[in-house]
């Protein structure tokens, strides 16, 4: 199977193309580059804190899911496109609805043969809902194209992820990305960068809020381990957070395990001339294979019969086996999601800052995450 002309770094099957693209983009997504974005991230954390303090003062009931979505989307606009989406200030973002439409369209088309033809037919479908999904996708593509065109035609000293795409070169060959390739990667950043992080944060808070003793343990660990925020500090610096907060990281990992928000199959091609032995199956060379991270994360042979329970302690006990190699929310190996550093920065800065300043309470303890069968 060959990648389509619109493939981005998340879905390339070709190892050579994927390796080339990763070399071109690696610097822009490195931890050092992400740490340079912290002042920009703090701008939007400050806005988030202001909104939450207002809710705390008035006792107003609010939708944490939407609040987090707008917050993450604003950060993405800032660090990826140097574009103020202002979703937090407006309390809305049409682009987020369009992203949800695009994801639904992708699920529908992904189950159909003849991908290119299916996309074309979706645009002219007699079903209004299908045409709406297609229009949403086109609107997102237009937004990305506008950002790319502006970046190419208006040189700026400000570094963002889009600038990294424009200036990206393969360290081995000096090859740059053309405008179509930049548009494809920008589109992937817009969709994957907002949906996955906001969904993960929302689910993490859901589990902690519905387990108050766990929430309190996270807050206590943050308060006892990290230096208190001083006047003028907005959030905790990302450097060292992952290594210094074992219980908080256990909650983050358990949330990744229980509710991976990106479950799209990432295909790999068996490259060994002799094929591969996968379980009881002999897989010939050239076969495309994939694994569902959700299925792996809920395998009772690995996680036990309580695999459907949010249990951070499974990552902490001295007698617990090391299961980290079975946790793949960002995929694994050289195919690991290139945006991991930015995602983890957003997640850790948000969870530490908010748990240190607020207690959240659900409207009802009776609500639950719905299970879906596919």
CA distance 267 to 264: 9
- Helix (H), strand (E), coil (C) string for the chain: CCCCCCCCCCCCCCHHHHHHHHHHHCHHHCHHHHHHCHHHHHHHHHHHHHHHHHHHHHCCCCCHHHHHHHHHHHHHHHHHHCCCCCHHHHCCCHHHHHHHHHHHHHHHHHCCCCHHHHHHHHHCCCCHHHHHHHHHHHHHHHHHHHHHHHHHHCCCCCCCHHHHHHHCECCCCCCECCHHHHHHHHHHHHHHHHHHHHHHHHHHHHHHHCCHHHHHHHHHHHHHHCCCCCCCCCCCCCCCHHHHCHHHHHHHHHHHHHCCCCCCCCCEECCCCCCEEECCEEECCCCEECCCHHHHHCCHHHHCCCCCCCCHHHHCCCCCCCCHHHCCECECHHHCCCCHHHHHHHHHHHHHHHHCCCCCCCCCCCCCCCCCCC
Q: How many other C-beta atoms are found inside a 10 Å radius of the C-beta of residue 239? A: 12
User: Are 255 and 270 a contacting pair, CB within 8 Å?
Assistant: no
CA distance 341 to 337: 9
Listed residue (372, 343, 352) closest to 233, CA to CA: 352
Residue 269 is labelled as binding a ligand: no
Q: How many other C-beta atoms are found inside a 10 Å radius of the C-beta of residue 48? A: 22
Q: How many other C-beta atoms are found inside a 10 Å radius of the C-beta of residue 79? A: 25
Listed residue (109, 131, 130) closest to 4, CA to CA: 109
Binding residues: 337
Binding residues for heme: 337
């Amino acid at each position: 199977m060959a990648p389509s002309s619109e493939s981005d770094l998340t879905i390339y099957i070709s190892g050579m193309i994927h390796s080339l693209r990763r070399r071109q983009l690696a610097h822009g997504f490195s931890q050092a580059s992400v740490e340079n974005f912290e002042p920009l991230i703090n701008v939007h954390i400050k806005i988030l804190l202001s909104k939450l303090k207002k809710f705390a003062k008035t006792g107003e009931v609010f939708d944490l899911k939407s609040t987090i979505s707008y917050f993450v989307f604003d950060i993405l606009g800032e660090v990826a496109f140097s574009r103020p989406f202002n979703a937090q200030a407006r309390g809305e973002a049409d682009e987020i609805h369009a992203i949800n439409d695009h994801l639904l369209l992708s699920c529908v088309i992904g189950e159909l043969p003849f991908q290119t033809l299916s996309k074309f037919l979706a645009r002219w479908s007699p079903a209004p809902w299908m045409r709406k999904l297609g229009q949403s996708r086109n609107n997102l593509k237009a937004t990305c194209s506008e950002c790319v065109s502006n970046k190419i035609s208006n040189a700026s000293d400000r570094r963002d992820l889009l600038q990294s795409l424009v200036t990206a070169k393969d360290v081995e060959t000096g090859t740059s990305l053309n405008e179509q390739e930049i548009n494809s990667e920008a589109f992937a950043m817009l969709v994957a960068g907002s949906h996955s992080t906001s969904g993960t944060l929302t689910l993490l808070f859901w589990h902690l809020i519905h387990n108050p003793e766990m929430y309190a343990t996270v807050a206590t660990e943050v308060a006892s381990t990290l230096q208190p925020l001083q006047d003028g500090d907005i959030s905790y610096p990302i450097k060292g957070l992952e290594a210094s907060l074992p219980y908080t990281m256990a909650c983050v990992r358990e949330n990744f395990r229980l509710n991976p928000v990106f479950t799209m199959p990432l295909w790999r091609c068996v490259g060994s001339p002799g094929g591969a032995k996968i379980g009881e199956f002999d897989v010939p060379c050239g076969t495309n294979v994939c694994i569902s991270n959700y299925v792996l994360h809920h395998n009772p042979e690995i996680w036990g019969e309580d695999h459907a329970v949010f249990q951070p302690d499974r990552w902490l006990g001295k007698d617990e086996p090391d299961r980290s190699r079975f946790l793949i929310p960002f995929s694994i190996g050289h195919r690991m999601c290139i945006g991991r550093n930015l995602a983890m920065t957003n997640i850790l800065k948000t969870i530490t800052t908010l748990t240190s300043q607020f207690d959240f309470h659900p409207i009802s303890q009776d609500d639950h995450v719905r299970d879906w069968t596919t």
